[in-house]
Amino acid sequence: MAVASSFDLHGRAAVVTGSSSGIGRAIALRLAQAGANVVVHARRSLDAAEHVAAEIRGLGAKATVLLADLVETAQQDRLVQQAWDWQGGVDIWVNNAGADVLTGEAAKWPFERKLQQLWDVDVVASLRLSRAIGAKMQARGGAILNIGWDQAEHGMAGDSGELFATTKGAVMAATKSLALSLAPAVRVNCVAPGWIQTAWGDRASDYWQQRAVNEAALRRWGTPEDIADAALFLCSPASQFMTGQVMAVNGGRADGFSSPPVADKKK
């Protein structure tokens, strides 16, 4: 197989949850650049999702927008069926959607409410969506990709560390079991991002800016496009002998920064 054809997704249908901005948008565009037709999903950001769909069409691929609140099981089920019906099947499903508890009003929520929101969206929804689409994919094959967190394996002090290690660690563990349950027809893998400069990173304090750079051996923030490149690999024929794997995309882990002051640990 030629190198270029290993990444060719022409004729394939992909779904990227939470793809109206950030990492999800970057993944959706990268899959479209490889030829995939893409379902752009958002909870309620219709205008932003339509903008991403227009970008995809500008690349020569097909795109549609589907809205669904992934806290609601009925809306999860509807998303799976609508996505399947759009192109008569789904070949790639990316569980990128995650609850944002770091910015906006949610940043002020108590710990327990943040944990419940993360659990419902990042863990339960990802698992239910994977099981539902995986069952449909059995007759045709396909690839499912989850999004974890590199520090879930090592731990990070503070409220955010506890919240995301718990939930993203569960996603990473579930990936391995799903891969066994859905094999050999469907491959299931996971990308575990490090410090990626999304909306929170753009507004992070100097302390966190320095920490993100110093904890990466490559001494820079990661970008959504860095994650998108890994996603393309894991969703394409280039990784056809990989399943149940968690791939860290973090610039190389470098423990070169001291623990945060107590006041910063809760951020």
Instruction: Please give the pLDDT value at position 154.
Output: 86
Instruction: Please give the pLDDT value at position 257.
Output: 55
Check if CATH label 2.60.120.260 holds for domain 3-265: no
pLDDT band at 261; cut points 50, 70, 90: very low
Q: Which residue has the higher pLDDT, 200 or 136?
A: 136
Collapse the DSSP code of 69 into the 3-class scheme (helix H, G, I; strand E, B; otherwise coil) and give the result. coil
Instruction: Give dist(CA 239, CA 243) in Å, integer.
Output: 8
Type of residue found at 98: G
Residue 267, pLDDT > 80, answer no
The model's pLDDT over 170-226, given as tens digits with 9 standing for 90+, comes to: 999 999 999 999 999 999 999 999 999 887 777 778 888 888 899 899 999 899 999
Q: 39 with 83: CB under 8 angstroms?
A: yes
Interior/surface letters 205-232, b for 16+ CB within 10 angstroms, e for the rest: eeebeebbbebbeeeebbebebbbbbbb
pLDDT band at 264; cut points 50, 70, 90: very low
Neighbour tally for 20: CB within 10 Å: 25
pLDDT band at 255; cut points 50, 70, 90: low
Instruction: Please give the pLDDT value at position 102.
Output: 87
Residue 159, pLDDT > 60, answer yes
pTM: 0.92
Residues 6+ apart with CB under 8 A from 222: 193, 194, 195, 196, 197, 216, 249, 250, 251
Instruction: Please give the pLDDT value at position 122.
Output: 97
Per the prediction, the chain carries an average pLDDT of 93
Instruction: Please give the pLDDT value at position 209.
Output: 87
Instruction: Please give the pLDDT value at position 201.
Output: 73
DSSP string, 124-168: IIHHHHHHHHHHHHTTT-EEEEEE--GGGTT--SSHHHHHHHHHH
Instruction: Give dist(CA 184, CA 179) in Å, integer.
Output: 8
- 3-state secondary structure string across 212-263: HHHCECCCCCECHHHHHHHHHHHHCHHHCCCCCCEEEECCCECCCCCCCCHH
Residue 256, pLDDT > 70, answer no
Q: What percent of the chain has pLDDT over 90?
A: 82
The model's pLDDT over 16-50, given as tens digits with 9 standing for 90+, comes to: 999 999 999 999 999 999 999 999 999 999 999 99
Highest mean pLDDT (candidates 2-6, 151-155, 204-208): 151-155
Place of tokens 């623990």: 259
Residue 266, pLDDT > 50, answer no
pLDDT band at 263; cut points 50, 70, 90: very low
Q: 12 with 213: CB under 8 angstroms?
A: no
